[in-house]
C-alpha cells in the first residue's frame, strides 16, 4: 500500500505526464482527439495504482490545468469532459455491471451524448469549426457519430488490453522498483 506522500507524488507525476502528452500531441491538428485519448492511458495507470478516489483528484487537477495551459482548447475540453475521467468510469462499470450488453450500451450512450454535447458547445461558444458539416451538410453527423462509436469501441478495447498487460507484466516490476 502506498503512503500518502507517495500517492501525492505519483498523482502529481501522472497529471504532469498527461499534460505533457497532450501538449506534445495537440500541436498536430489531426491529433486533437488522439491527444486526450492517449493521455487517458496514464489516468488508467493512476486508477490501477492509486485507486478510484485518488484518480478523481488526479483527473480534476489535470483537467483544470489542461483547460488553462494547452494550446488546443478542443483537446483540453475533450479531456475534461470525457477522456480524462473515462478510465475511472470504465473501472466502475466493469466491476458493477454484470451484463456485458448493458455495460456496452451505457458506455456507448455516455460517449456519444457527451462528445456530441461537447462539440455542440465548442462550435456554438468557442468558435471551433466543424469543417465536415460545411462540406457535406448535416448528413455528415450520423456518419461521424458512427465512426466515433467504432473508434470508441477500439479505444475501450485498447484500454482493456493495456490493463491486462500492465497487471501481467509491468505492475510487479513497478512496485518492486518503487518499493510499493
Per the structure, the complete domain to which residue 115 belongs is given by 4-177
- Which cell goes with 25? 500531441
Where residue 40 sits, what CATH number does that domain have? 1.10.1760.20
Number of structural domains, the chain? Answer: 1
Give me the average pLDDT of each 10-residue run along the chain (180 residues).
Answer: 82 95 85 91 93 96 95 92 97 95 97 92 78 67 88 96 93 77
**Whole-number pLDDT of residue 130:** 66
**Whole-number pLDDT of residue 135:** 67
**Whole-number pLDDT of residue 27:** 77
* Per-residue exposure over 129-168, b if at least 16 CB sit within 10 Å of its own CB, e if not: eeeeeeeeeeebeeebeeebeeebeebbeebeebbeebee
| Contact indicator for 14, 58 with CB cutoff of 8 Å | yes
**Whole-number pLDDT of residue 151:** 95
Q: What are phi and psi of 32, to 5 degrees?
A: -60, -40
Q: What are phi and psi of 8, to 5 degrees?
A: -65, -45
**Whole-number pLDDT of residue 100:** 95
Amino acid at each position: 500500500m502506498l503512503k500518502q506522500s507517495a500517492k501525492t507524488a505519483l498523482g502529481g507525476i501522472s497529471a504532469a505526464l498527461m499534460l505533457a502528452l497532450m501538449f506534445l500531441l495537440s500541436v498536430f491538428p489531426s491529433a486533437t482527439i488522439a491527444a486526450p485519448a492517449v493521455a487517458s492511458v496514464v489516468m488508467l495507470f493512476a486508477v490501477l495504482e492509486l485507486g478510484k478516489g485518488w484518480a478523481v483528484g488526479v483527473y480534476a487537477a489535470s483537467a483544470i490545468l489542461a483547460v488553462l495551459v494547452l494550446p488546443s482548447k478542443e483537446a483540453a475540453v475533450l479531456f475534461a469532459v470525457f477522456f480524462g475521467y473515462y478510465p475511472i468510469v470504465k473501472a466502475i462499470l466493469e466491476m458493477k455491471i454484470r451484463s456485458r450488453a448493458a455495460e456496452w450500451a451505457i458506455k456507448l450512450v455516455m460517449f456519444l451524448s457527451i462528445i456530441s454535447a461537447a462539440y455542440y458547445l465548442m462550435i456554438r461558444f468557442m468558435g471551433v469549426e466543424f469543417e465536415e458539416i460545411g462540406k457535406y451538410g448535416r448528413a455528415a453527423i450520423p456518419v461521424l457519430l458512427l465512426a466515433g462509436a467504432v473508434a470508441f469501441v477500439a479505444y475501450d478495447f485498447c484500454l482493456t488490453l493495456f490493463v491486462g498487460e500492465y497487471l501481467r507484466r509491468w505492475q510487479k516490476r513497478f512496485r518492486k522498483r518503487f518499493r510499493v
